[in-house]
């Protein structure tokens, strides 16, 4: 109705600390290998940056997030759980979680559902959307740490072919031209949630950021409400 706003909230990098767990578990599993401090991360896909150090680091890194328990064990990002509960209790506010499973989906998909139930409760499981293409989901806002959602995505069709052939699913990224979501002009405004890999990016106006959950997310929601 009038004044109502529908918000999509991403999981990895926004609600769940993917990058922190990835670095910690990678260093535990490969103690002798080089690693990238979070302050030195650049680009959405950690694997691409590791591969630039040395090609064999790509599959080593992806073995960490493809392991059972990785997605379930992710720690909530500071303030995220409280913000989600508060947001969903606001009048005229529809909150959904919108997340893309990795192409090696066996553990990831189930564990994302379990994570939501564990940290947010069963009500939020009813609001969980899993899709590889967020551009076809209709909403006013998408809060996401990925810097290239509307435009060129590093993930896509080519990766799917790779997984069918049994290669590590995310491994093909960067070897092919990027692909876009099918909806060229999505209904939502993308709010970039600040994460280690995107903090240095200069946004094109009028693109907006949410620096953290301590930042004023209520004002961003209010900016989408009709008077």
Which residues are part of the catalytic machinery? 10, 12
Q: Which are the contacts of 150, defined by CB distance < 8 A and separation ≥ 6?
A: 135, 180, 181, 184, 185, 186, 190
**Residue 64 lies near ligand T3P (rule: CB under 6 A):** no
The rounded distance, in Å, linking the Cα atoms of 106 and 83 is 29
Six-digit token string for 98: 């919108």
With CB under 6 A as the contact rule, which of the stretches 42-50, 114-122, 180-188, 207-215 interacts with ligand T3P? 42-50
Kindly determine how many residues on this chain lie close enough to bind ligand T3P according to the rule CB under 6 A.
13
HEC letters along 41-72: CCCCCHHHHHHHHCCCHHHHHHHHHCCCCCCC
Residues 35, 41, 45, CA angle at the centre, nearest 5°? Answer: 95
Nearer residue to ligand T3P within complex by CB, 4 or 199:
199
Per CB under 6 A, the list member of 7, 8, 9, 13 interacting with ligand T3P is: 13
With CB under 6 A as the contact rule, which of the stretches 8-16, 113-121, 178-186, 205-213 interacts with ligand T3P? 8-16
**Residue 99 lies near ligand T3P (rule: CB under 6 A):** yes
Q: Min. distance of Cβ 12 from ligand T3P in angstroms?
A: 4
Per CB under 6 A, the list member of 135, 170, 198, 210 interacting with ligand T3P is: 170
Distances (CA, A) of 198 to 25, 36, 179: 21, 15, 20
Binding site for ligand T3P (CB under 6 A): 10-13, 18, 45-47, 99-100, 102, 155, 170
């Amino acid at each position: 109705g009038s004044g109502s706003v529908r918000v999509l909230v991403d999981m990895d990098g926004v609600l769940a600390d993917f990058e922190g767990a990835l670095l910690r578990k990678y260093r535990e599993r490969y103690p002798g290998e080089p690693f990238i401090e979070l302050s030195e991360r650049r680009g959405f896909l950690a694997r691409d940056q590791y591969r630039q150090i040395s090609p064999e680091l790509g599959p080593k890194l992806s073995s960490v997030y493809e392991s059972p328990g990785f997605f379930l064990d992710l720690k909530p990002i500071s303030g995220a759980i409280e913000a989600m509960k508060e947001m969903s209790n606001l009048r005229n506010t529809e909150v959904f979680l919108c997340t893309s499973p990795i192409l090696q989906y066996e553990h990831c998909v189930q564990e994302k559902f379990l994570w939501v139930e564990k940290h947010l409760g069963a009500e939020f499981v009813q609001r969980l959307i899993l899709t590889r293409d967020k551009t076809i989901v209709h909403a006013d806002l998408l809060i996401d740490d990925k810097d290239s959602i509307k435009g060129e995505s590093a993930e896509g069709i080519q990766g799917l072919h790779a997984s069918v052939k049994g290669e590590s699913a995310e491994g093909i990224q960067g070897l092919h031209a990027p692909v876009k979501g099918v909806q060229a002009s999505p209904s939502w405004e993308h709010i970039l949630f600040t994460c280690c890999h995107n903090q240095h990016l200069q946004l094109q106006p009028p693109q907006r950021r949410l620096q953290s959950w301590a930042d004023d997310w209520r004002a961003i929601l209010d900016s989408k409400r009709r008077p």
